[in-house]
């Protein structure tokens, strides 16, 4: 607490603005099919708690900083997770405006903003932001469960997914994260040669774990970067195997349990 100061946060305003933008568009130009309309809890404690926590998070992000952390737009691993969470949030909103309003789209819209806020708090080393985000996630999820019961997930069948509900979006995400992985490896290789700012190894491994493993491994091999580091030359292939196993399991589960 002794390091926390009331001061305008550049990183905080970026996170708040990115998260708020699709919500503003939705409020000004709601789609004809609008399942989120009237999304509220019948329990006053939950309803008011959600709103109070949401406002508190915004205020804390904008005006509370840690004096030991530079006041800038961060590029750490946790900051990148915040950016990715918001990017996926925007993707869900794009699907929503396109009429794809399954619960399997709505629930990520519930979970991704608190995740972005939580990681932003960790990035800034402002624990009240992360604590409020965790509490907000609980209240936000309770409101969603009341209005959109989890049984509604079954509306999205395996056939729906195969016919283009999720596959194009997953393809877009994987293309984006693999391009990011490629760019980061090339950037780090150039930085290693010039002595400039390096990308943390933890950041590269996180990008690999969230889907950029194939492009990262291939790029490292092609430009001979970190080829003597076991954590990459062994770790990334292990990640790829685990990712393939997860994909196969999810496909099996969807086909057996959601048709």
Residue with the larger pLDDT of the pair 220 and 172: 220
Asked if pLDDT for residue 8 goes beyond 90, the answer is yes
Asked if pLDDT for residue 63 goes beyond 90, the answer is yes
Mean pLDDT, to the nearest integer, of 172-183? Answer: 81
pLDDT digits (tens, 9 = 90+) for 15-27: 999 999 999 999 9
Which strand (E) or helix (H) includes residue 65? strand 64-66
pLDDT digits (tens, 9 = 90+) for 112-154: 999 899 989 989 999 999 999 999 999 998 998 888 886 544 4
Quote the mean pLDDT of the chain. 85
> What does the pLDDT read at residue 2?
79
> What does the pLDDT read at residue 31?
92
Residue with the larger pLDDT of the pair 256 and 62: 62
Kindly state whether residues 144 and 227 are assigned to the same domain. no
Q: Per the structure, how many domains does the chain have?
A: 2
> What does the pLDDT read at residue 163?
46
Mean pLDDT, to the nearest integer, of 29-38? Answer: 92
| Nearest alpha carbon to residue 3 among 123, 121, 119, 126 | 126
Question: Do residues 33 and 101 touch, judged by C-beta distance below 8 A?
Answer: yes
Residue with tokens 């729906």: 160
What gap in Å lies between CA 176 and CA 10, rounded to an integer? 25
Residue with the larger pLDDT of the pair 78 and 251: 78
Domain boundary residue, one of 155, 185, 215:
155
Task: Let me know if residue 161 belongs to a domain.
Answer: no
Kindly state whether residues 151 and 220 are assigned to the same domain. no
Kindly state whether residues 128 and 31 are assigned to the same domain. yes
Residues spanned by the domain of 112: 4-155
What gap in Å lies between CA 184 and CA 187, rounded to an integer? 5
CA distances for 94 relative to 21, 88, 151, 154, 197, angstroms: 12, 10, 23, 21, 35
Kindly state whether residues 13 and 85 are assigned to the same domain. yes
The HSE-up count of residue 178 (CA atoms within 13 Å, CB side) is 14
Residue with the larger pLDDT of the pair 115 and 257: 115
Question: Do residues 14 and 21 touch, judged by C-beta distance below 8 A?
Answer: no
pLDDT band at 79 (very low <50, low <70, confident <90, very high): confident
Please give the backbone phi and psi of residue 189, each rounded to the nearest 5 degrees, phi first.
-65, -45
């Amino acid at each position: 607490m002794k390091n926390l100061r009331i001061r305008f946060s550049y990183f905080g305003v970026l996170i708040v603005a990115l998260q708020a933008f699709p919500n503003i568009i939705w409020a000004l130009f709601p789609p004809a099919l609008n399942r989120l309309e009237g999304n509220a809890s019948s329990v006053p404690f939950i309803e008011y708690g959600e709103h109070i926590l949401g406002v508190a998070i915004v205020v804390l992000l904008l005006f509370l900083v840690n004096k030991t952390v530079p006041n800038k737009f961060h590029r750490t691993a946790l900051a990148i997770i915040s950016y990715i969470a918001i990017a996926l949030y925007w993707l869900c909103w794009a699907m929503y405006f396109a009429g794809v309003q399954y619960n399997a789209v709505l629930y990520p819209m519930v979970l991704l903003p608190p995740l972005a806020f939580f990681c932003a708090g960790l990035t800034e080393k402002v624990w009240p932001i992360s604590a409020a985000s965790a509490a907000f996630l609980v209240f936000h999820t309770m409101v969603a469960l009341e209005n959109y019961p989890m049984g509604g997930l079954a509306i999205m069948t395996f056939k729906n997914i195969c016919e283009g509900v999720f596959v194009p979006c997953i393809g877009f995400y994987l293309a984006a994260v693999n391009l990011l992985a490629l760019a980061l490896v090339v950037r780090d290789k150039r930085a290693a040669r010039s002595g400039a700012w390096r990308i943390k190894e933890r950041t590269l491994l996180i990008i690999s774990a969230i889907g950029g493993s194939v492009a990262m491994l291939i790029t490292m091999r092609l430009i001979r970067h970190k080829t003597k580091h076991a954590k990459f030359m062994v770790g990334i292939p292990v990640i790829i195997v685990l990712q393939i196993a997860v994909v196969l399991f999810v496909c099996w589960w969807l086909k057996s349990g959601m048709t």
